[in-house]
Structure 1
């Protein structure tokens, strides 16, 4: 069952508490600057709104009509679902199912997948050059990421029929006339909002990252993609605890910053609770 993942976050956080100075991490979290945390929360809401618009844009190029209000409401609900349900993608699956009217589940699912994939592509596009800020460890990650991206491109171009069909839909969504500039603009806003929110949370616990936020935050966010947790909890904190010392901060500060970011992300999805109530 997927719900065994519910046990992963508390177990990982408990392990981190034992490995690092747990009370110091808790003290940093208690001392969070509320204004900086609220600014991070605002940025995460900007990210949700821009993501909803990117989904609507992507769906439109695939022949699926989504109203702006529908896209925003569904994205808030999906964000909350991704944060509290095991696997981190059940919220997205739900919005694909609910939005399938008129086009079918296949197209609706492709629109959701391509929209989310755009976010990962943007993250890698920033991370690859940003790793140059860490020259001592850059070569290995750059090579690994390059191999993964190359393998994905080969699969889309020369893989099985389903992969080629998905690749064709990606080209429609991203390379149709007028698509690419809007896709790039929205992806840039979303990525900047995510990184900015995490950096603000880190500053809020007394650990400003400076320019290294461009590499440390994406690496911490990538840990959330591992489907072994709920909302990335535990995995993200572990990554931050390992990475933050590269910026001269403590592991405890990294864990506190990650928890503050996780709480802000959870709070940003709470308006999704209103969606079912309003629809009734």
Structure 2
């Protein structure tokens, strides 16, 4: 029933957008898309996957789950394929955690996956927060509607205050406080150590820039030219819509956000729709190597426990 609901939401949103924002115009834009810009978007998303796999490898090693770079890339691609083809959008990540539980247990393996995904979202949020403040204060920036300015300002403030709130919540009594304390200590383990924070920040900003650039390239392919400020301020909001787990892989919600937000940068609503559809299709193509790596890679992805675990 939940799968059917997600599919219905995706199709319903796309159908509504087709009727309200000139769907035929979006189709014409897609049909005339520039292949060179789409190829650049594909390259950016491929680089994003490679950087994400390296970030996962680094994060997992700090929690006692060690594997090689080739394994990290192969398993990350496989997780992306599952995320794109099955409802929920997180089943592939859960699979990564389960397959690599052998060395340190499912909890540590799951924390590594969760922290890695969180780092990517945090980098996208940081870019959006900086761009929102800049475009709100600098003359000639985006003319944010009053209906959006207040909620987005609250979103930025809440995001900045989240680490402090998380740290304070570790003082709660009972099992909740103990669980949050364990998570906080695990997060400290991931980030502490010489050069680790800089490496995590570099990899996370790299993946975020690749993701935003890929969307901008797809938009350019269908005739929507976005400024750097528009990409940094608007595209993160479009991508955040994909996180809402009521649609199949974010389809429909992402397109609705693009059709609503890109006109703030001078694009048409149909151009926003075409840009988002192009991004979704290119992203689906970018994860296809995961199928090849799954069939040609080594079997038995679960890493066995080490006979002599290192401290």
C-alpha distance in structure 1 between counterparts of 2:288 and 2:27, whole Å: 24
Counterparts of residues 184-263 of structure 1 (less than 5 Å): 184-211=201-228, 212-263=230-281
User: 1:81-112 deviations in whole A, cap 9, x for unaligned?
Assistant: 11121111111011111111111110000000
Partner of 1:22: 23
Deviations 1:115-156 (A, max 9, x none): 000011111111112013136344431222322452454234
Larger-Rg structure? 2
Q: Aligned residue for 2:2?
A: 2
Match of 1:83 in 2: 84
- Residue 273 (structure 1) aligned with residue 291 (structure 2): yes
Q: Any conservation in 2 of the 1:156–1:166 contact (CA below 8 Å)?
A: no
1:21, CA displacement in angstroms? 0.6
CA distance in 1 between counterparts of 2:34 and 2:166 reads 46
With 153-162 and 184-193 compared, the bigger mean Cα shift is at 153-162
Q: Does 1:71 align with 2:72?
A: yes
The corresponding residue for 2:49 is 48
Correspondence for 2:153:
142
Instruction: Evaluate the alpha carbon distance shift between residue 40 and residue 270 of structure 1 in structure 2; reply closer, same or farther with a 3 A threshold.
Output: same
Once residues 139 and 11 of structure 1 are traced to their aligned partners in structure 2, the CA distance between those partners, rounded to angstroms, is 29
What TM-score results when the alignment is normalised by the length of structure 2?
A: 0.86
| CA distance 1:208–1:228, change in 2 (3 Å) | same
Q: 2:250 is paired with a residue of what secondary structure?
A: coil
- Which shifted more, 126-135 or 215-224? 126-135
Shift of 1:157: 3.8
Deviation at 1:178, TM superposition (A): 1.9
Q: Post-superposition shift, 1:27?
A: 0.8
| 1:176 alignment partner in structure 2 | 193
Cα-to-partner distance string for 1:163-205 (whole Å, 9 max, x where unaligned): 1211111111123322111111111110110011000000000
Q: For the structure 1 residues 214 and 47, does the alpha-carbon distance in structure 2 shift closer, same or farther, using more than 3 Å as the test?
A: same
Q: For 1:77 and 1:147, locate their aligned partners in 2 and report how far apart those are by CA, in whole Å.
A: 33
Which aligned runs of 4 or more in structure 1 are off by greater than 6 angstroms?
Answer: none
Compute the displacement of 1:250 (Å). 0.3
Tell me if 1:119 matches 2:120.
yes
What TM-score results when the alignment is normalised by the length of structure 1? 0.95
Query: Deviation per CA, 1:40-91, whole angstroms, max 9, x where unpaired?
Result: 0011000000000000000111111021011000111111111121111111
**Aligned partners of 2:294, 2:167: CA distance in 1, in Å?**
37
- Residue in structure 2 matched with residue 94 of structure 1 by the alignment: 95
